[in-house]
A and B are shown apart, each in its own frame.
Chain A
């Protein structure tokens, strides 16, 4: 596709359930980022993938959060045993990995835990 695609766009889940969020980056982009944006708040870094290097997981808030990037392309963010405080918009971005290039964002997945 032409841009970063995220799915689903909206997800409502019950507390305690597991959820998977998907990100399709722009083809050829080696860098991929996940961010969380709570209502009225700024972007909170979660995890960063760059090529075949070990991901930077320093932003994951708890061990209930994990992410994978298969084949250097599609990424899934998994939240286990969801809690109400996990409700937020989850944004994915990709770039060519060079500091001079732009990071392109998807439209986000709005997660609501009820």
Chain B
């Protein structure tokens, strides 16, 4: 069964600190993995995309990693800012199948001053 699991469910950190969010998946055959950021009251917006051959990809203070062997991904946020407070959603695409997008339930990050 194709599934995407994220942890932790929620996280509170102090401004300036780093944090790491986790995503485990069982989607097969794997195509790519995206991390989305969803600000309160807005739709999710893509941060990074990683394919099978990519191990690390950065987007500013966001760095995503992918281990295709263990089917795990992480999103590391460096020097957090108040504006990083949002939900972060891991989305895995399968190569085949009519409905090939599988969503995690997200991690709710709150950055406090």
Contact = CB atoms under 8 A, between A and B. Distances in A.
Do the two shown chains form a genuine complex with each other? yes
A91 B41 CA distance: 11
B98 A102 contact: no
B98 A45 contact: no
Contacts, number: 59
Q: How large is the interface on B (under 10, 10 to 19, 20 to 34, 35 or more residues)?
A: 20 to 34
B43 A99 contact: no
B53 interface: no
Contacts of B49: 102
A42 interface: yes
A45 B103 contact: yes
Given A42-B104, A48-B98, 8 more contacts: A50-B99, A53-B98, A93-B43, A95-B101, A102-B46, A105-B43, A108-B42, A110-B41
Interface of A: 4, 33, 35, 40-43, 45, 48, 50, 53, 56, 58, 91, 93, 95, 99-100, 102-103, 105-108, 110
